[in-house]
């Protein structure tokens, strides 16, 4: 999704803006632009280019061409108007006096545009954002803050805005509603950004803007206002992410780096939460009363986070005997969900900014549910709007295809299931101890899986030319297949479907013919015999089978499948966490061999902040 960076200070702004934007490239974009105050002419200099940020950077010689110490920059992910130079941001008002960068959608832009056109204002772009720039100029009579305030009363939708005015060279105005925007506090300089990675090189001191807030940034400081335009104090927090964590550190791709970081991420996520053979959540608790009366659990998420929820449902129902519904964030608010004060609503999101998930959270809260979120990005919107939050502590995840966030989300949800089962008395003490012991073994066993990555690379070289790949599995392996299939299709562009093995014979098996590749998942020991019979079923229709199982079942699987990937055996609670790693690697190597843009797959954004 779109990325915003703003800087006001004593240094040349454009190189800082371009560097900040490069940190936001992972979010997905199709064009980029910057606007700065040109001190010599007293006007705004705006430069924009369709395509990669590098195109803009080359045009500006890395920013050296723009002499200015304040400005805003933007990477655009097209919603209103095709990707083009003219539709890129910043969008400017007719006189060129106001420049705006925007993340989100102005829902009533057509109505406002018609109004302005009636007043004789002409438009140059197809964007909703230009309406904001034009409207600010329409209301501007020398008081920028007041003009912005009047515009905010009229626009509807989701927006994070960075605003420059040629008459006010010493300030940037920032606004946030339903779209992320943070403030960065430096020494003699200040920043705005869509996320912290964009400014981490310059400062770790950040403030999270809340919905409806506005901020005026100068070189000396930042003044924030609430939605009533009353001055407010903003809490400044120090971010502890290392800069290296947001850089490739010698790896060719962020995705590969993040796959390799998983054992460490799991240690960070789990170690503080496992003590003396027990799951311990210092950052979270539920009252005895709530636990005793809890009737239902909802898990709400999108994409891979939703797949975490699919696994979580099996675990939570097994360990707590409480019914669990898993809902897509984009469906939840339209399905009249049964949520009340006896419902625990678990919201899962890496970014903490996914708009559909956020909307589901708000609906669940409106209905009275208790909201617990599992989030990676500290201080993100979902984290802040939840009753309670469990952070995955996976570190910054830059590749669009999630890996370490997925495994840490799943580890945390599994630990939560165990913790709840223990509190509810639905898991015998002995089983609890066994599971906790398994959590301790998890990072080491994952290192072992990763050490066999060359085998997966070889398998990928055998199959990367297929144009359709099926994944099948039962129960935990079905949920695992959903994630394996998504990983493959999002970065390799190979058509892929995941099926519950038992469903194949109800239709899909008609697609299996000579040479069709089926990735058969048979890690769950309890259902291994069933997995085997499905492998036989597709083999006898001509499929090539690439199987995944655990060491104890390797030999038996190898008698029927063409190729077998193996993982160490571990308690069923944690099998999908180990099992997903070969699937991540398989997707990665296949995409690599097909020459795909792995970290930034086409049409996708890391953080989906529009509906």
Does 608 interact with ligand M6R (rule: CB under 6 A)? yes
Q: Residues near 204 by Cβ (< 8 Å), separated by ≥ 6?
A: 238, 239, 240
- Nearest-angstrom CA–CA distance, 22 and 17: 9
- Nearest-angstrom CA–CA distance, 347 and 184: 27
Other C-beta atoms closer than 10 Å to the C-beta of 447 total 14
For residues 599 and 400, the answer to whether their CB atoms sit within 8 Å is yes
Residues 380-409 that bind ligand M6R (CB under 6 A): 400-402
Other C-beta atoms closer than 10 Å to the C-beta of 158 total 22
**Would you say 259 or 521 has its CB closer to ligand M6R?**
259
**Would you say 115 or 251 has its CB closer to ligand M6R?**
251
Taking the complex as a whole, the smallest distance from the CB of residue 391 to ligand M6R amounts, in Å, to: 13
Closest residue to bound ligand M6R by CB: 303
Burial class of residue 321 in the structure, from the number of CB atoms within 10 Å of its CB (0-12 exposed, 13-18 middle, 19+ buried): exposed
Does 1 interact with ligand M6R (rule: CB under 6 A)? no
**Would you say 407 or 607 has its CB closer to ligand M6R?**
607
Q: Partners of 174 in the beta sheet?
A: 162, 215
* Residue of 179, 305, 373, 407 that binds ligand M6R (CB under 6 A): 305
**Would you say 169 or 303 has its CB closer to ligand M6R?**
303
**Would you say 304 or 386 has its CB closer to ligand M6R?**
304
Q: Is 168 a catalytic residue?
A: no
The CA–CA distances, whole Å, from 522 to 15, 116, 543, 570 equal 52, 62, 16, 13
**Would you say 203 or 392 has its CB closer to ligand M6R?**
392
Task: Take residue 244 and report the two structure tokens written for it.
Answer: 């290296």
Does 359 interact with ligand M6R (rule: CB under 6 A)? no
* Closest C-alpha to 195, from 609, 600, 602: 609
Estimate the crossing angle of helix 404-424 against helix 303-320, to 10 degrees: 20
Does 481 interact with ligand M6R (rule: CB under 6 A)? no
Task: Take residue 76 and report the two structure tokens written for it.
Answer: 């655009």
**Sole window of 14-22, 114-122, 297-305, 412-420 interacting with ligand M6R (rule: CB under 6 A):** 297-305
Taking the complex as a whole, the smallest distance from the CB of residue 244 to ligand M6R amounts, in Å, to: 22
* Residue of 194, 304, 485, 584 that binds ligand M6R (CB under 6 A): 304
- Nearest-angstrom CA–CA distance, 62 and 522: 52
**Would you say 136 or 398 has its CB closer to ligand M6R?**
398
**Would you say 131 or 361 has its CB closer to ligand M6R?**
361
Task: Take residue 38 and report the two structure tokens written for it.
Answer: 């040109």
Which strand (E) or helix (H) includes residue 313?
helix 303-320
**Would you say 490 or 562 has its CB closer to ligand M6R?**
490
* Closest C-alpha to 102, from 131, 129, 134, 75: 129
* Residue of 354, 492, 549, 550 that binds ligand M6R (CB under 6 A): 354
Taking the complex as a whole, the smallest distance from the CB of residue 419 to ligand M6R amounts, in Å, to: 22
- Nearest-angstrom CA–CA distance, 503 and 515: 20
- Could you give the 3-state DSSP secondary structure of residue 200? coil
Q: What binding mask, one character per residue, do residues 35-54 give for ligand M6R by CB under 6 A, x or -?
A: --------------------
- DSSP annotation of 564 reads E
**Would you say 172 or 410 has its CB closer to ligand M6R?**
410
Taking the complex as a whole, the smallest distance from the CB of residue 451 to ligand M6R amounts, in Å, to: 24
For residues 307 and 265, the answer to whether their CB atoms sit within 8 Å is no
- Could you give the 3-state DSSP secondary structure of residue 1? coil
Taking the complex as a whole, the smallest distance from the CB of residue 206 to ligand M6R amounts, in Å, to: 19
- DSSP annotation of 88 reads S
* Residue of 31, 57, 194, 349 that binds ligand M6R (CB under 6 A): 349
Does 350 interact with ligand M6R (rule: CB under 6 A)? yes
Q: Is 606 a catalytic residue?
A: yes
Four-residue CA torsion sign, 355, 356, 359, 360: negative
Burial class of residue 284 in the structure, from the number of CB atoms within 10 Å of its CB (0-12 exposed, 13-18 middle, 19+ buried): middle
Q: How many residues bind ligand M6R (CB under 6 A)?
A: 16
> Which residue in the list 2, 165, 168, 432 is annotated as catalytic?
2
Taking the complex as a whole, the smallest distance from the CB of residue 154 to ligand M6R amounts, in Å, to: 30
For residues 323 and 296, the answer to whether their CB atoms sit within 8 Å is yes
Please give the torsion angle defined by the CA atoms of residues 245, 248, 251 and 255, in that order, rounded to the nearest 10 degrees.
Answer: 80
**Sole window of 64-72, 74-82, 183-191, 347-355 interacting with ligand M6R (rule: CB under 6 A):** 347-355
Taking the complex as a whole, the smallest distance from the CB of residue 374 to ligand M6R amounts, in Å, to: 9
**Would you say 266 or 400 has its CB closer to ligand M6R?**
400
Token pair 């090539």 is found at 544
Does 351 interact with ligand M6R (rule: CB under 6 A)? yes
**Sole window of 67-75, 259-267, 348-356, 538-546 interacting with ligand M6R (rule: CB under 6 A):** 348-356
Taking the complex as a whole, the smallest distance from the CB of residue 114 to ligand M6R amounts, in Å, to: 34
Question: To 5 degrees, how large is the angle CA 156–CA 162–CA 164?
Answer: 115
- Nearest-angstrom CA–CA distance, 181 and 435: 40
- Nearest-angstrom CA–CA distance, 253 and 28: 15
* Residue of 28, 162, 169, 303 that binds ligand M6R (CB under 6 A): 303
Taking the complex as a whole, the smallest distance from the CB of residue 272 to ligand M6R amounts, in Å, to: 22
Does 496 interact with ligand M6R (rule: CB under 6 A)? no
First-to-final CA distance of the chain: 11
The CA–CA distances, whole Å, from 4 to 101, 147, 182, 333 equal 7, 21, 10, 29
Does 103 interact with ligand M6R (rule: CB under 6 A)? no
Does 302 interact with ligand M6R (rule: CB under 6 A)? yes
Does 25 interact with ligand M6R (rule: CB under 6 A)? no
Task: Take residue 429 and report the two structure tokens written for it.
Answer: 């003490």
* Residue of 68, 69, 330, 357 that binds ligand M6R (CB under 6 A): 357
- Nearest-angstrom CA–CA distance, 193 and 204: 12
Does 490 interact with ligand M6R (rule: CB under 6 A)? yes
> Which residue in the list 48, 113, 177, 606 is annotated as catalytic?
606
Active site residues: 2, 606
Q: Which residues bind ligand M6R (CB under 6 A)?
A: 302-305, 349-351, 354, 357, 400-402, 486, 490, 607-608
């Amino acid at each position: 999704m779109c990325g915003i960076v703003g800087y006001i200070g004593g240094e040349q702004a454009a190189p800082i803006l371009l560097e900040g934007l490069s940190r936001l490239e992972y979010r997905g974009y199709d064009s980029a632009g910057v606007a700065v105050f040109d001190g010599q002419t007293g006007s705004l200099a705006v430069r924009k280019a369709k395509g990669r940020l590098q195109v803009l950077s080359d045009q500006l010689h890395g920013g050296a061409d723009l002499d200015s110490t304040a400005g805003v920059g933007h990477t655009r992910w097209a919603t209103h108007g095709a990707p083009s130079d003219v539709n890129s941001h910043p969008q400017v008002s007719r006189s060129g006096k106001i420049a705006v960068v925007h993340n989100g959608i102005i829902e009533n832009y057509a109505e406002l545009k018609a109004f302005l056109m009636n007043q004789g204002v002409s438009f140059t772009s197809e964007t909703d954002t230009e309406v904001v720039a034009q409207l600010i100029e329409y209301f501007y009579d020398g008081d920028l803050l007041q003009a912005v305030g009047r515009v905010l009363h009229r626009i509807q939708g989701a927006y994070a805005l960075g605003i420059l005015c040629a008459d006010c060279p010493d300030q940037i105005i920032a606004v946030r509603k339903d779209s992320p925007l943070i403030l960065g506090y430096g020494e003699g300089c200040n920043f705005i950004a869509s996320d912290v990675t964009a400014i981490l090189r310059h400062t770790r001191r950040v403030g999270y803007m809340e919905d409806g807030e506005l901020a005026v940034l100068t070189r000396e400081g930042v003044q924030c206002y609430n939605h009533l335009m009353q001055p407010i104090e903003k809490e400044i927090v120090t971010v502890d992410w290392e800069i290296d964590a947001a850089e490739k550190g010698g790896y060719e791709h962020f995705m590969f780096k993040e796959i390799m970081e998983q054992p460490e991420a799991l240690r960070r996520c789990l170690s503080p939460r496992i003590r003396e053979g027990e799951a311990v959540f210092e950052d979270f608790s539920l009252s005895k009363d709530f636990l005793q009366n809890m009737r239902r659990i909802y898990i709400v998420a999108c994409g891979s986070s939703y797949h975490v929820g699919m696994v979580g449902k099996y675990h939570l129902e097994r360990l707590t005997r409480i019914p669990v519904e898993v809902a897509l964030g984009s469906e939840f608010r339209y399905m009249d969900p049964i949520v009340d004060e006896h419902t625990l609503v678990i919201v899962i999101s890496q970014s903490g900014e996914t708009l559909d998930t956020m909307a589901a959270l708000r609906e669940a809260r409106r209905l009275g549910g208790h909201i617990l979120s599992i989030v990676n990005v500290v201080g993100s919107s979902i984290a802040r709007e939840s009753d309670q939050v469990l952070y995955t502590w996976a570190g910054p995840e830059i590749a669009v295809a999630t890996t370490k966030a997925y495994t840490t989300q799943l580890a945390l949800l599994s630990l939560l299931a165990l913790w709840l089962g223990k509190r509810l008395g639905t898991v015998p003490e002995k089983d609890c101890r066994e599971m906790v012991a398994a959590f301790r073994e998890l990072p080491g066993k994952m290192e072992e899986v990763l050490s066999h990555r060359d085998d997966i690379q070889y398998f990928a070289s055998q199959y990367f030319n297929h144009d359709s790949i099926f994944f099948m599995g039962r129960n935990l392996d079905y949920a695992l297949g959903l994630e394996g299939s998504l990983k493959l299709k999002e970065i390799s562009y190979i058509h892929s479907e995941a099926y519950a093995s038992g469903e194949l014979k109800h239709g899909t098996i008609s697609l299996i013919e000579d040479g069709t590749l089926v990735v058969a998942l048979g890690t769950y020991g309890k259902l291994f015999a069933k997995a085997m019979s499905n492998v036989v079923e597709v083999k006898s229709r001509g499929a090539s089978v690439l199987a995944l199982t655990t060491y104890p079942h390797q030999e038996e699987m190898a008698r029927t499948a063409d190729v077998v990937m193996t993982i160490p055996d571990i308690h069923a609670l944690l099998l999908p966490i180990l099992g997903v790693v070969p699937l991540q690697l398989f997707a990665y190597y296949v995409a690599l061999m097909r020459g795909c843009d792995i970290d930034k797959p086409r049409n996708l954004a890391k953080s989906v902040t529009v509906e």
